[in-house]
Amino acid sequence: MTETCPPEASQRIPMLVLGGWLGSGKTTLVNRLLAEAPGGERIVVFVNDIGEVDIDAGLIAARSGDTVELTNGCACCSIGDSLGAALRDQVLSPDPPDRIVIEASGVAEPDRVAAYGDRRRIRPDGIVVCVDATDVVRCAGNRLTGRLVHRQVAAADLLILTKCDLADDGGAAALAWCQGETEAPVVTSPVLRSEGGSWVDLVLGGMERLDAAEISHHEPPEPLDFPLDATLWSPSYPVAAEAVAAALAEVASSEPALLRAKGVFADGVVHLAAGRVTVDPRPDGADPTGQLVLIADFGWDRRRACFDLGRLTR
Amino acid sequence: MITVFTARRVHTMDLSLPEATAVAVLDGRIIEVGSLDSLQPWLSRHDHVVDDGFADAVILPGLIDPHVHPGLIALLLACEWVTPEAWDLPGRHVPATVGREAFVARLYELEAFHPAGEPLVVYGWHAQFHGELFRDDLDAISTDRPIVLWQRSFHELRCNTPALAWLEAEEGAEWDPHIDLEAGRMWESGMGFGLRILNPHLIGGEHLGQRLEEMIRMVHGGGVTTIGDPGYAMADLDHYLDALLSVHEGANVPFRQYLIPAIFRYRLEFGADHAEKLAQHEALATDRIRFLHAAKFFADGAFIAQLMQVGPPGYIDGHEGAWMANPDRIADHIRPSWEQGRRIDIHVNGDMGLDAALDAIDMLLHEIPRFDHRTVIHHFGLSTQAQSRRMAALGVSVQANGYFLNLFGDAFVDRWLGAERASQITRVGSARRNGISVALHSDLPMGPLLPMKAASNMSTRLTLSGEILGLEERLSPYDAIAAVTIEAAWQLRLDHEIGSLAAGKQADLVVLDGDPFELDPTAWPDIPIRATVLGGEVYPCD
Ligand SMILES: [Zn+2]
C-alpha cells in the first residue's frame, strides 16, 4: 500500500482490514480487539456482511462496541450500502473513532476492501487474514473455494492461523502451506481463547510492527492425539436450555466421539465437557444464538447426532 | 350466477383434457372446462350467462412469471430508457437502439425535450451494444444539465460533469476506489455512493407508489395473472411492503403476487429480530399479495455482468466471477429454512455456482430427507449435462431466464465463453429430457415481462443477431408454453390453484387473438393479447 499524504500522518485514523474465511475466527478476533484494546481507545468495526451464518456463533462472546453493518453491493437483486459513504460518515462525524476495523465478508478479497477510505484522513494499517488450521488445506484444494482462499492469503500482511489445537498435527501442515503461499509473517493460535494472545498487540501495532524480525513465530501447540471436527446444530424452533441439555446427554451417551458442546439459549448456557452436561445462567450481554456447537472426533456421525437432537427436543 | 366464456379454442395445459371450447366459472373458480354441450348438466340447473366476447379468440391459463422485481422496475420506470432491445413500458414504447451513433442521437433528442433544470437519467446503455461513452462524450451533449447513464446490467453509472457534481462524486472518489472522475464512471460500490442521491430522487416519498402503480399495466400487458418476487425489496423492507400493499392490492389489480423472502436481507436489516420480523410481514398477506412458505438464497454473481462463476476452462479473457455466498457454506445458510419445510429458491448463474448449490441440497437431503421439496435453481446461466442429471436425481428443478440467450448469447460466443459453451446457456432442452420441471422467468427488469416472448426465445433459441444457439436445447412448443403456465405454478407449489384450466381451479385466463399451437414460435411475441381474466373478472387489454 502506498502512502500518499504524509504531513498530518499522525492525525490520520488507522484502518485495519480483517479478512478470511467464514469460521476462520475473524469475529472472535474482533471481539478480542474490542475487549483488549488499550484503555479508552474507541474502535469502530465495519462489518461487510453478506448475511452469512456464522458457524462460530456459539463459541464467541457477544459482539460489543460500535459496529456498522454493511451489505454487499454486488447483487442483481439488492443494491447495497456504500462502504465509502459509511467510512466518510464515521470519520467526519463530531466524534470520530480512534481506530477503524473492517471485518470483510468471507468471500471478499481483503486487498480490495483496503482500497477504500480518504488517505488524507485514514491511514492504512494493514491486512490481517485469519486462516482455519483445520480446514485451509482442504479449502485451497477445492475447485469451488480454492481460488478465493489463495487470493485472500496472498493479500495478507499478517496471517493468523487459528484453531491449531483442533488440527490433528497441531496446525503444522497448514502452517507449511501458508508459508509456501505468502511472504507475510504467520502466527499460530489455538482456538483464539480469551487467555493469552500476545498477537492482539501485534494486530493493533499496525504495519510498522509487522516486521518479520519482530515476530517470534509461535511454536504450534502440542498436537492433540486425535483429530477433531466441529458442527453446528441450529433448531428452527424455540427450545429450552434444559430440553437441549437432556437431549445432549442422551446423544453423548450413544456417541462416544462427541467431546464438547456449547450453546447459548434464552434461558441458559448448555455445556458438554468431560462427559458431563451442565446448564449455566446466561451472562448479561451474551445474545442467545439458539444454536449448539458440537465438537467431536472425525468420523463421527454428525447427521445422526443433529437428527437425534431434533427428534428429542421437538 | 355462472359465467361461461366461449372460445375458438381453449388450451387447458392439462394433457388429460388438452382442448375445449368453453370455460364455466362460478364465484371466481372454474366449475367445468368443456363445450356448451358438455356443460348442460350445470347450465340446465343454474342461472348462467354466456360471454361470447372471446368466441373468435383462444384461451390459455393466465400466464405466470415467477421471478419479477416490482421494486427494481419501479426505480427504473422513473428513468428514460434507451435499450438494445425493444420494451413496452406503461405509456411509452421503447424501440431497440443498437450502435453508438443511434444511441448518442437518442441522447441528444431526450436532452432537447427534457424539462429544463431536471437531471436526465437514462437506463439501458451497454458498451457491447452502444460502444464506450465517457464524461467528455456526455459533456458534449450538455454541460448544464446532469446526465447519468445507468448501465443495462445495473453495475455502473456514466456521468457528465454536472452529474458528477450532483452525485457528489468528487467527494466520493476520495473514499471509494470505484469512482473515476476523469472517465465519469461510478461502478459497483462507487455506484452505491451515487445511489444515495439518485434513489431518493427517483423513488423517494410518493414516487415509489406511483411507479408501482404504473407497473400494474406492465404485468397486465404481458398477459400475466400471477407474479412471484423472490427477494422482494432492495432496502427498507417495511417501507417497500407498505407501498406494495397499498398499491398492488384491490379490484383494479389484475394479478396475484407471491413474495419469497431473501433471508439474508432480513438478517441484515433486522439482526436478531429477523425471524420475528418475517413472521410479522407474513401476517400482512392480503387477497392479491401472499407470502410463500419459501426462502431465497444466493450462490454466484450475475450473468449479464459476467460475474457468474465459470468452471474450467473459465472465461476466455481469464477474468474470474464472484461469489455471493461462501460456496462451502450454502447448506448452512439454507438449513434453518429447510428445517422449517420452506421451499428453497437459489440464485445460480454459472456452472460452479450450480455445483455449490447442488452440493448444499445434496447435503441437506441426507441430513433431513424431504419428499417433494421443489427446490428451484433460478436463472440457470451455464450448466452441463452431468449437472442436469444430478439435478434430476436430487429433485431440483430449473427456472431459467428466458432472455439470457436471446440478448447476450452473441457476446458470450464472441467474447466470454466461445461457441460450444455459449450454446449451452440456459440448456432447458436437456433438462426436459432428463425429466426436470422447466419454468421461465424475466427477472424483470433484467428481461421484459412478456412470457410469450420468453417462451418463444426458448423454443427458437434465436439470438439478437438471428443465430440459433444450441438447437438441441430448445423447448418443444408445448413445453415452452407449459414453462410459463403449469410448470411455473408447480414450482411455486401453486399448481393445485393456477397454471392450468380444470374444475376447481382459479378462473385465471389469458385471451389471445391467435393460437400459439397453430403459429410458429417466432410469431408468439406478436400475438395480440386481448384480455386477461382473474378469478372470473375480465380485464380487457387496450
Ligand atoms: Zn432476481
Q: What is the pLDDT of residues A3-29, one digit of tens each?
A: 444 445 567 888 888 888 877 877 777
Residues of chain B in contact with residue A106, where contact means CB-CB under 8 angstroms, are 326, 329
Asked whether residue A40 falls in the same domain as residue A186, the answer is yes
Residues of chain B numbered 232-291 and touching chain A (CB < 8 Å):
234-235, 262-265, 267-268, 271-272
End position of a domain, from candidates B466, B482, B498: B498
In a domain, A1, yes or no: no
**Across the A/B interface, how many CB contacts are shorter than 8 Å?**
153
Nearest residue to B455 via CA among B437, B475, B473, B469: B475
- State which residue of chain B sits closest to A138, comparing Cα positions: B328
- pLDDT band with cut points at 50, 70 and 90 for residue B419: very high
Asked whether residue B252 falls in the same domain as residue B175, the answer is no
CATH number at A275 reads: 3.30.1220.10
Coil vs helix vs strand at B438: strand
Q: What is the pLDDT of residues A153-201, one digit of tens each?
A: 888 888 888 877 777 887 788 888 888 887 766 666 544 433 334 455 5
Higher pLDDT, B174 or A34: B174
Ligand 1 center to residue B292 CA distance, Å? Answer: 16
Higher pLDDT, B13 or A33: B13
Cα distance between residue B329 and residue A105, in whole Å: 13
- Rg of chain B taking only CA atoms, in angstroms: 23
B179 contacts B171 by C-beta, under 8 angstroms: no
End position of a domain, from candidates A160, A192, A226: A226
Asked whether residue A220 falls in the same domain as residue A267, the answer is no
Average pLDDT over residues A68-72: 49
**Do the Cβ atoms of B267 and A71 come within 8 Å?**
no
Asked whether residue B430 falls in the same domain as residue B493, the answer is yes
Domain housing A282: 230-313
pLDDT at A230: 63
In a domain, A2, yes or no: no
Residues of chain B numbered 310-329 and touching chain A (CB < 8 Å):
311, 320, 322-329
DSSP states along A105-122: -TTS-HHHHTT-S-TTTE
Ranked by mean pLDDT, which of A37-41, A47-51, B239-243, B348-352 comes out on top? B348-352
Nearest residue to B483 via CA among B540, B366, B401: B401
In a domain, B66, yes or no: no
Cα distance between residue B483 and residue B470, in whole Å: 18
Residues of chain B in contact with residue A232, where contact means CB-CB under 8 angstroms, are 332
- pLDDT band with cut points at 50, 70 and 90 for residue A260: confident
Domain housing B514: 1-61+499-542
A104 contacts A19 by C-beta, under 8 angstroms: yes
- pLDDT band with cut points at 50, 70 and 90 for residue A49: low
Residue B434 CB contacts under 8 Å (≥ 6 apart), including other chains: B388, B389, B391, B392
Residues of chain B in contact with residue A81, where contact means CB-CB under 8 angstroms, are 192
In a domain, B77, yes or no: no
In a domain, A3, yes or no: no
**Do the Cβ atoms of B329 and A52 come within 8 Å?**
yes
In a domain, B69, yes or no: no
Q: How many domains does chain A have?
A: 2
Q: How far apart are the first and last CA of chain A?
A: 54
Give B267 to chain A, closest Cα distance, Å.
6
Asked whether residue B332 falls in the same domain as residue B401, the answer is yes
End position of a domain, from candidates A191, A211, A226: A226
In a domain, B425, yes or no: yes
Cα distance between residue B423 and residue A190, in whole Å: 50
Residues of chain A numbered 278-297 and touching chain B (CB < 8 Å):
287
Asked whether residue A52 falls in the same domain as residue A133, the answer is yes
- Touching check for A15 and chain B: CB below 8 Å? no
Asked whether residue A213 falls in the same domain as residue A234, the answer is no
Asked whether residue B164 falls in the same domain as residue B216, the answer is no
- pLDDT band with cut points at 50, 70 and 90 for residue B266: confident
Asked whether residue A63 falls in the same domain as residue A79, the answer is yes
Q: How many domains does chain B have?
A: 3
In a domain, B220, yes or no: yes
CATH number at B18 reads: 2.30.40.10
Residues of chain B in contact with residue A235, where contact means CB-CB under 8 angstroms, are 339
Residues of chain B in contact with residue A142, where contact means CB-CB under 8 angstroms, are 328
Asked whether residue B144 falls in the same domain as residue B254, the answer is no
Asked whether residue A273 falls in the same domain as residue A151, the answer is no
In a domain, B438, yes or no: yes
Cα distance between residue B314 and residue B416, in whole Å: 9
Q: What does the block give as the cell for B474?
A: 430448445
Q: What is the pLDDT of residues B127-168, one digit of tens each?
A: 888 999 999 999 999 999 999 999 987 778 999 999 999 999
Asked whether residue B214 falls in the same domain as residue B310, the answer is yes
pLDDT at A39: 67
Higher pLDDT, B475 or A225: B475
What is the DSSP pairing of strand A258-265 with strand A268-273? antiparallel
Report the percent of chain B where pLDDT is more than 90.
Answer: 80
CATH number at B467 reads: 3.20.20.140
ipTM value for the complex: 0.75
**Do the Cβ atoms of A55 and B332 come within 8 Å?**
yes
Indicate the residue of B72, B263, B366 with minimum beta-carbon distance to A303: B366
Residue B62 has pLDDT above 50, yes or no: yes
In a domain, B406, yes or no: yes
Asked whether residue A216 falls in the same domain as residue A244, the answer is no
- pLDDT band with cut points at 50, 70 and 90 for residue A298: low
Residue A70: strand pairing partners: A48
- Touching check for A89 and chain B: CB below 8 Å? no
In a domain, B83, yes or no: no
CATH number at B138 reads: 3.10.310.70
Give the pTM. Answer: 0.81
Average pLDDT over residues B528-533: 98
